């Protein structure tokens, strides 16, 4: 049988790497979504709505592909944290979040562009931050990495030593939950292992 | 200042990738350790002893390097599971472990070859296995991946969709805990961020 084409509606290299490491080889198609149009307010609903919009915009231009859209945010003390604006904000974030536990939310939507059917779900993973010293925070911010990522940290990059542990799926923290993707594909009658590049 | 040379006393590409992703660029030096010589019996003591032996053998031939040794095992129902012997055993393992929770133990030893000082610690991460179907287990075993890894699964490879979640450090499951490495280096008066490749 021929594997269905898989499309990742995200420019995130971390998401692409997660899929490739799991044996999937998606095409990347990115379309702009106007985040100011989001009507949801509750954090889980926001990431879900954004994931769906991203997948819908891309699926609209395709036929017979499985399109995956995702959106991630860090929840800490009831606040939603995206990318920090600058180095000063990244430093302040780390000074505030060290020793604390946040929750990384990732919304996922898979659309079967052939049938129009869709499946959605939000993954939530608790993240227990370590206690990097001021010198370590300063060195980390100087790398520029925290400015490029939601929550100002990575689990698969330079701040991995500053995360003590997680409770949940690590891929969800990086930006895409593979066990959740497997479940959503199954809802669309697709077996993930049938998408493995041969 | 000049960064101290870091040496990974392991042939594991997964461990090397964890270190590189975190900004470290170790040299790999592998020496054979006779695992039949291990005197420890309790699982945590076994992985710790093996990690120390691996680091010692490599550190003995070096000066002024920081040598990292690691050893990993999966504990499930009080049994210690290494690499499966063949495809039939890998299949039986997955049929037994789906829906269950195991604990991935990784022993770590860092030796400062310049001073002879050493720091050691065992990381333990709970792994909640999902419920892959018989067809998925069969497809996974056919890839050959589970035959190459302790516990017959990967968190960073094709079986990632079959792991529902973890509690602890994901790197520890893959083979090397970066937050624990940071702590052990600090015990040897080395700051991890000072080892970042510039």
CB contact under 8 A, B164 and A171: no
Our CA-based measurement puts residue A144 at a distance from the nearest CA of chain B, in whole angstroms, of 13
Distance CA(B119)–CA(A18), nearest Å, equals 33
Q: Which residue of B has its CA nearest to A169?
A: B165
Within 10 angstroms of residue B15's Cβ, the number of other Cβ atoms is 22
For the annotated catalytic residues of A, the residue numbers are 71
Q: Is A167 on the interface with B (CB under 8 A)?
A: yes
Q: What is the pLDDT along chain B (198 residues), one digit of tens a residue?
A: 567 899 999 999 999 999 999 999 999 999 888 887 888 889 999 999 999 999 999 999 898 899 999 999 999 988 889 889 999 999 999 999 999 999 999 999 999 999 999 999 999 999 999 999 999 999 999 999 999 998 999 999 999 999 999 999 999 999 999 999 999 999 999 999 999 976
Q: Is B161 on the interface with A (CB under 8 A)?
A: yes
Picking from B135, B155, B178, the nearest residue to A160 by CB comes out as B178
Q: Are B52 and B118 spatial neighbours (Cβ–Cβ below 8 Å)?
A: yes
CA B95 to chain centre: 24
CA angle, corner B134, sides to B132 and B140, nearest 5?
A: 70
Q: How high is the pLDDT of residue A46?
A: 95
Q: Is B137 on the interface with A (CB under 8 A)?
A: no
Q: Are A73 and A47 spatial neighbours (Cβ–Cβ below 8 Å)?
A: yes
Chain B CB contacts of A191 below 8 Å:
135-136
CB contact under 8 A, B193 and A140: yes
Q: Is B40 on the interface with A (CB under 8 A)?
A: no
Q: CA dist B155 to A60, A100, B101, B160, B162, Å?
A: 33, 25, 14, 5, 9
Q: CA dist A92 to A89, A152, A196, Å?
A: 5, 10, 42
Q: How high is the pLDDT of residue B109?
A: 98
A131 Cβ neighbours under 8 A, 6+ residues apart: A98, A99
Q: How high is the pLDDT of residue B34?
A: 81
Within 10 angstroms of residue B187's Cβ, the number of other Cβ atoms is 14
Distance CA(A164)–CA(A32), nearest Å, equals 35
Q: If you count residue pairs, one on A and one on B, with CB atoms under 8 Å apart, how many are there?
A: 97
Phi-psi region for residue A23, left (φ > 0), alpha (ψ -120 to 50) or beta?
left
Q: What is the ipTM for the molecules in this complex?
A: 0.95
Chain A CB contacts of B191 below 8 Å:
135-136
Q: Is A166 on the interface with B (CB under 8 A)?
A: yes
A130 Cβ neighbours under 8 A, 6+ residues apart: A98, A99, A161, A162, A163, A164, B179, B182
Residues of chain A with pLDDT under 50: none
């Amino acid at each position: 049988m021929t594997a269905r084409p898989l499309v990742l509606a995200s420019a995130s290299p971390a998401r692409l790497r997660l899929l490739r490491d799991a044996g999937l080889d998606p095409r990347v198609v990115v379309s702009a979504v106007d985040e100011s149009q989001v009507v949801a307010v509750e954090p889980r609903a926001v990431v879900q709505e954004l994931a769906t919009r991203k997948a819908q915009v891309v699926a609209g231009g395709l036929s017979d592909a499985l399109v995956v859209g995702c959106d991630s945010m860090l929840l800490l003390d009831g606040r939603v944290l995206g990318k920090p604006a600058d180095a000063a904000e990244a430093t302040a974030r780390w000074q505030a979040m060290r020793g604390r536990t946040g929750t990384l939310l990732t919304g996922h939507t898979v659309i079967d562009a052939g049938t129009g059917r869709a499946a959605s779900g939000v993954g939530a993973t608790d993240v227990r931050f370590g206690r990097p010293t001021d010198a370590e925070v300063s060195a980390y911010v100087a790398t520029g990495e925290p400015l490029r990522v939601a929550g100002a940290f990575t689990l698969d990059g330079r701040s991995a030593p500053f995360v003590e542990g997680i409770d949940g799926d690590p891929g969800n923290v990086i930006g895409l939950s593979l066990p959740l993707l497997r479940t959503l594909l199954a809802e669309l009658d697709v077996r993930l292992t049938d998408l493995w590049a041969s």
